[in-house]
Structure 1
Amino acid sequence: MRTVGDGDRPGLEALWQMFRHDLSEFDRSRPLPDGSFGRERLRAALVEPDREALLIVHEERVTGFALVRGLLGPCRVMSGFFVVRTARRTGVGAGAAHRLTAAHPGPWEIPFQEDNTAAGRFWRRVARRAAPGRWTEERRPVPGRPDLPPDTWIRLTVVGSPGDRRP
C-alpha cells in the first residue's frame, strides 16, 4: 500500500467511480447528470488532516484503495475500501486491511451494508484475525437516509507493536 500522491489522483478517481457503482446496488444511489458519482467523501479524504487515502498495490499494479478518517481522534473509521473484481477473493484485500489496521493500532469502526453479504463476510473475517475476541457489531441508521436499512458497524480494537506502523 502507498499513500496517494498528486499523480495518483486520476487513477484514484476512476477507482472511486467503480466503488460507488458497486455500492449503488445497496445504497440506491444514481449517477449525477454527467454520469459520474459524487466525490465529496473522496475529496475530504485527500484534504482533511485527520484522513488518509491509500492505494492498494499488488504485483506492481494498483488494485484498489482504502480511505480512513479519525486519524487524529480516539477511533479510526474505514470510510471507504475497494478492491477491483479481478483481485477479490485472492487475499489482496485482506492483506491490505490487516496492514492498514496494524499501522494504526487501537479502536476502529468499519461500516458496511448488511445486504452486501460479500462485504459482511470479508469484514467479519478481517475483524476475527485483526482483533480476536476484541470486536463487536451493531446496526446504525444511515444518516439522512431513512429509506435504507441500517448499516452494520464492526467495532474492533487492534493491538499492535511498534514495527506495525506502516501500511
Structure 2
Amino acid sequence: MTVSQLFVRPAVAADRAAVERLWLLFRHDMSEFQGQLPNPDATYRSERLESAFQDAAWAPYLMTSGDRPVGFAFVRALDEPVRVLNSFFVVRAARRSGLGLRAVREVIARHPGPWAIAFQDANAAAVAFWRRVATEVAGDAWIEERRPVPDRPGTPPDVWISFTAA
C-alpha cells in the first residue's frame, strides 16, 4: 500500500474506539519483543491507553490516510522538562512508506524541547527507525543509552534515545 496522504491530529473522545483497536495491534506487535501474552479476554494491558485519554500531561495523536486510521502516538510528561514518546504505532500496510517518519516529525514539532524515546534492542526495525528519527531531528546531537525496565528484573534494558527538537 502506498500512503500519500497523512494527517496527524490530536485524538479526541470520538476517536477512542479506533485508537483502542490500533492499541491491540500495537501490543500484539510488541508482544514479540516483550514476551507478554494477551489477557484471558484477548486484550492487553491498557494503562497507557487510559492515561493518554484521561491525563492532562499526556497527548494522544491519531494518524489517518483519508478516512483510514493508520497509527497513533502517545506523548507523556508534557508537564515535565523532557517529553516522552510513550507509544508509537503504524499499521503494517503503511510501514516503510515514509509515513512513520513524517508522523513522528509532526508530533515532535508540536512539542519543541527535550525528548526521550524508548525501544527494545531486539526490535531491529525499531532500532533503525528511532536512530534515523533522532538523526533527522537533531543531526548528531543525540544520545543513546540503556536503562533497566522498572519493576521487571530479568528483562533486557530498554534503549533510550534523547535529543532536543527546536
Length-normalised TM-score, structure 2:
0.93
Cα distance in 2 between the residues matched to 1:43 and 1:143: 20
Work out which of the residue numbers 156, 161, 164 in structure 2 matches 1:149: 156
User: Which residue of the partner structure matches residue 39 of structure 2?
Assistant: 32
Aligned length: 159
Deviations 1:18-72 (A, max 9, x none): 0000000111111111111111111011111110100011234210000000112
Work out which of the residue numbers 108, 118, 123 in structure 2 matches 1:101: 108
CA RMSD of aligned residues (A): 0.9
**1:4 corresponds to which letter in structure 2?**
A
Q: Does the 8 Å contact 2:61/2:73 carry over to 1?
A: yes
> Which moves more between the two structures, 58-67 or 90-99?
58-67
Cα distance in 2 between the residues matched to 1:133 and 1:146: 32
User: Which residue of the partner structure matches residue 92 of structure 1?
Assistant: 99
User: Which residue of the partner structure matches residue 131 of structure 2?
Assistant: 124
**1:103 corresponds to which letter in structure 2?**
R
Question: Unmatched 5+ residue regions in structure 2?
Answer: 1-7
Displacement of 1:148 after TM fit?
Answer: 1.2
**1:75 corresponds to which letter in structure 2?**
V
Length-normalised TM-score, structure 1:
0.93
User: Which residue of the partner structure matches residue 69 of structure 1?
Assistant: 76
Cα distance in 2 between the residues matched to 1:136 and 1:48: 28
